[in-house]
Amino acid sequence: MIILGIESSCDETGVAIVKDGHEILSNQVSSQIDLHAPFGGVVPEIASRAHLRIIDPLTQAALQEARLTWQDIDGIAVTQGPGLIGALLVGAAYAKGLALALGKPLIPVDHVEAHVHGALLGVQQKSDSGPDPGQNPVRDIAATFPALSLVVSGGHTNLYYMASPTDFQLLGYSLDDACGECFDKVGKLLQLGYPAGPLIENLASQGDLERAQKTWPMPLMAPGSALEPIRFSYSGLKTFMAQTVHKHQKKTQVDPPSWGQDLWDLCAAFQEEALGQIVRKTKRALVLRPDAKSILIAGGVAANQRLRSMMAHQIDRPCHYPPLSACSDNGAMIATYAFYQYLEAQKNPSHNPAAYFDHRWESYSRYAFKD
Ligand code: KG4
Ligand code: ZN
């Protein structure tokens, strides 16, 4: 089954074509970072207009890259939320128009859950830059589920138990900032630029954890039973960093980018705790759900190599990640999630993907989940 997936929830337009839920035939992403950079954050109206300009040419480019015609597409998947409402509307209206014109099913999916499906993606068929080192294709669904999954992005730090690719049970979430958001805010304090995650990772790789400050706050580490709910917290770590940076700035009288080794050490210590929290909560979740056979990790922070190495050393389950090209927002994860929703709907007619969400999508769609 070949699904065209459309993503437009924030500042990236993504259109991808995915075969059978794992084989990427095309994954076109157009980032708006440069448009929003002068404003220091995403401007919703600019985002909507940029999606509108690019969505059709990007779809044509995806078809061309996959060497397919409209007749080859079996279904249209689209992010239905959460996201910026104007931006979502562009993708939803475009997807509905396509589904209507082609007479194909329209499959709306949840953006945050879809991130996890990035980790079920396989090898990119055609790539100019050779194999993606992040790829770790999951072929055997029975050996993968039940699974724990983590969405660690700029907007979310969610931990789920998944009985199957479509059965999400939220076990944990952040009480305040998201992990990626914390990287970005700390990056701002350190005057590093946006998005700061990859920059901090790069500086941290030259840092010496032994030399770095030892008294790091470890949020939500109070002794509790294994049954205590799993919660993340990043605002305390951010405040601790603000105070540390301020003190060091006062002492040295220079800005963070000129701190050299001290900056690298600080980044290493910060990164260790920001990621350490993810590893600790995953261990706790495994106590609650020991039947989980694997861990699926997605979202922008999943690109972090230190996170991957900590998980590999400390978690005794196979960990699967999206290809590096599919960690951030993209249409391929949308198409993959839609593939499993479609399969589920075919197996079980009472399965109604729209039931997971707030608004009644089926009332917008003319098409039932059938051939
Ligand atoms: O998934 P994503 O595009 O975010 C949302 O859709 O919300 O991920 C973006 C986030 C940013 O906060 C960015 O700083 C962070 O992921 N990020 C990283 C790395 N690469 C991206 N954080 C830590 N290490 C990285 N290598
Ligand atoms: Zn996202």
State whether the beta carbon of 329 lies less than 6 angstroms from ligand 1: yes
CA 109 to ligand 2 center in whole angstroms: 12
3-class state of residue 340 by DSSP: helix
Prediction pTM value: 0.86
Ion ligand 2, residues whose Cβ is below 5 A away: 329
Give residue 370's pLDDT. Answer: 41
Q: Which residues contact 81 (CB under 8 A, 6 or more apart)?
A: 9, 88, 110, 111, 357, 358
Could you tell which of 151, 301, 308 is best to mutate to test the pocket of ligand 1, judged by most ligand atoms within 8 Å of the CB?
301
Ligand 1 atom having least distance to the Cα of 9: 6
The encoded tokens of residue 264 equal 């690298």
Q: What is the mean pLDDT of residues 63-75?
A: 96
**Which ligand 1 atom minimizes the distance to the CA of 329?**
3
CA of 48 to the centre of ligand 2 (A): 16
Where residue 195 falls among pLDDT bands split at 50, 70, 90? confident
| Residue 256 beta carbon below 6 angstroms from any ligand 1 atom | no
240-261 confidence digits (pLDDT tens): 999 999 998 998 899 999 999 9
187 lines ligand 1 (CB under 6 A): no
Q: What is the pLDDT of residue 81?
A: 87
pLDDT tens for residues 277-292? 999 999 999 999 999 9
Mean pLDDT along residues 166-194: 93
On the question of pLDDT at 360 being above 60, the answer is no
Burial 283-301 (b: 16+ CB within 10 A, else e): ebbbebbeebebbbbbbbb
Mean pLDDT of the chain: 86
Give the pLDDT mean for 7-32. 94
CB 116 within 8 A of CB 31: no
- Among 178-182, 209-213, 340-344, the minimum mean pLDDT is found in 209-213
- For residue 303 and ligand 1, the question of a CB distance below 6 A is answered with yes
Q: What does the alpha-carbon distance between residue 172 and residue 176 come to, in Å, rounded to a whole number? A: 12
Q: How far apart are CA 268 and CA 141, in angstroms?
A: 36
pLDDT attached to residue 344: 85
| Residues in Cβ contact with 132 at an 8 Å cutoff, skipping those fewer than 6 apart | 124, 323, 324, 325
CA of 113 to the centre of ligand 2 (A): 9
H or E stretch covering 239: helix 235-252
Which bound ligand lies closest to the C-alpha atom of 178?
A: 1
- Nearest atom in ligand 1 to the alpha carbon of residue 111 is 6
Q: Say if residue 363's pLDDT is above 50.
A: no
Taking the CA of residue 303 as reference, the ligand 1 atom at the shortest distance is 26
Is the predicted pLDDT of residue 333 greater than 70, yes or no? yes
> What are the structure tokens assigned to 121, written together?
């993606």
Q: Which amino acid is at 99?
A: A
Q: For residue range 103-154, what is the model confidence (pLDDT) as tens digits? A: 888 899 999 999 999 998 853 333 334 444 444 455 678 889 999 999 999 8
Does the CB atom of residue 328 touch ligand 1 within 6 A?
yes
